[in-house]
Amino acid sequence: MKSVAFERGLAQASRVQLVAIMEPRPDVIVDFVFEDGMLYFGVQNISPVPAVKVHVAFDPPFRGLGGNASIPELPLFRNIEFLAPSRSIRTLLDSSAAYFARKEPEHITATVSYSDRSGEKFSSTMRQTRLVSIPPPGVGEELYPHFGN
């Protein structure tokens, strides 16, 4: 015969599992954007719930802003304490001409680590983000309308 305490515990465990299934988890991505001859880099929470303690790691490392800044070492992307739902942080990487003239990597792997508000940890890797597909310097953006916005 099952005890009342056992049945309550089972019911509570079932509710916890149901909440875990129904409640969405954070989903954070890294994106490189080509706009008006400039390259931008952004971290975006594409989920309806907040992400906390967001950290981005890159392989290989690369430089931006005329070669003066190591992007993987920027504090902005090493520790984002709170990234609200459907929000992003974006910064200028470089002009596409300057980036490619320095022969910076054309393929970059970004690994994003983050947690939800309860402390559960998540990680996702975007392999081979293809900067090589961005129009080369001197090629008009009108030929590549899918790279705007």
Written as six digits, the tokens of 138 are 């001197």
Q: Indicate the pLDDT class of residue 149, thresholds 50, 70 and 90.
A: very low
Between CA 42 and CA 56 the distance in angstroms is 10
Judge residue 51's burial from the number of C-beta atoms within 10 Å of its C-beta, 0-12 exposed, 13-18 middle, 19 or more buried.
buried
CATH topology of domain 24-147: Immunoglobulin-like (2.60.40)
Q: Which pLDDT tens digit goes with each residue over 72-92?
A: 888 888 889 999 999 999 989
Average pLDDT over residues 115-135: 79
Domain boundaries along the sequence of the chain: 24-147
Q: Which pLDDT belongs to residue 143?
A: 40
pLDDT at 41: 85
Residue 55's pLDDT band, with cuts at 50, 70 and 90, is very high
Residue 32 pLDDT: 84
Tokens encoding 3: 């005890």
Q: What's the average model confidence in pLDDT over 1-11?
A: 56
Distances (CA, A) of 104 to 29, 56, 115, 129, 131: 21, 18, 31, 13, 10
